[in-house]
Structure 1
Amino acid sequence: MTYAIIETGGKQLRVEPGRFYDIELLHVDPDADYTVDKVLLVSHDDQVTVGQPFIEGATVEGTVMEHRRGKKVIVYKMKPKKKTRKKRGHRQEITRFMVNSISMNGSVIASAEAEEATAPVEVVAE
């Protein structure tokens, strides 16, 4: 199983090819390709490559699926005995990002198509 740890939006995220993730808003049109070059760690065939802080030449390619808003977060502030109350709500702007492949030094080491081909197939006996 191949995975990478990337940094985007000030957060670190473990990503695998063929899966989608909700990350901080990217200013890219939907259905456009996007490349993340801030790769901190890559694990492939039980070999782990760690960057200091980033791995040179490692990239994660993917497609921006859509832009959406996250769940509503309620912020409620109250001062006791002062009759002061503030209730505020906030919804974070997020981007749904589908990871297509993980590359190191220009060569693709894992892609969504390869993951689907090696996935076990269920056989239903009737």
Structure 2
Amino acid sequence: MHAVIRTGGKQYRVKAGDELKIEKLEAEKGGEVVFDQVLAVGEGESLKIGTPLVGNASVKASVIANERGKKIIIFKKKRRKGYQVKRGHRQHYTRVRILEINA
């Protein structure tokens, strides 16, 4: 069974056992989180699509780790003006494993 969940402004298609890298959640490593914003759940002919959410549906996941992504470099320059700015950024994210889907 698949589900489409919404978290961190993005949508993810998940099934039990999947491992995801999502926007940072305030949860400890080893803890559990419940995603209650389920947009669609089911498979084949038993697919339920919400308007916008499916009622009484949830997805339970466990937190594997809170990590940071690869560093990206932001470099700005204006030619012939002597202006250069170099900055770096590392995005925080949470790695979760989907445990079960409740329809």
TM normalised by structure 2 equals: 0.93
Aligned length: 103
Q: Counterparts in 2 of 1:87-106, with a 5 A limit?
A: 87-104=86-103
Q: Please tell me the residue identity of whatever aligns with 2:60.
A: E
Structure 1 residue 44 displacement after superposition: 2.3
Question: Residues of 2 paired with 1:85 and 1:34: CA distance?
Answer: 43
Structure 2 counterpart of 1:37: 36
Unmatched runs of 5 consecutive residues or more in structure 1: 105-126
Distance, in Å, in 1 between the alignment partners of 2:8 and 2:83 is: 34
Runs of 4+ in 1 over 4 A off after TM superposition: none
Percent of aligned pairs with the same residue? Answer: 38
> Which protein, 1 or 2, shows the higher relative CO under an 8 Å CA cutoff with sep ≥ 6?
2
Structure ID, larger Rg: 1
Matched residue type, 2:85:
K
- Once residues 4 and 67 of structure 2 are traced to their aligned partners in structure 1, the CA distance between those partners, rounded to angstroms, is 23
1:28 and 2:27 correspond = yes
Matched ranges for 1:1-126 at <5 A: 2-104=1-103
CA-atom RMSD in angstroms: 1.1
CA offsets, 1:73-125, max 9 Å, x none?
A: 11111112211111111011110100001101xxxxxxxxxxxxxxxxxxxxx
Hey, what's the Cα distance between the residues in 1 that align with 2:20 and 2:56?
Answer: 23
Supply the distance in 2 between the matched residues of 1:24 and 1:79 (Cα, whole angstroms): 33
Using the size of structure 1 for normalisation, the TM-score is 0.77
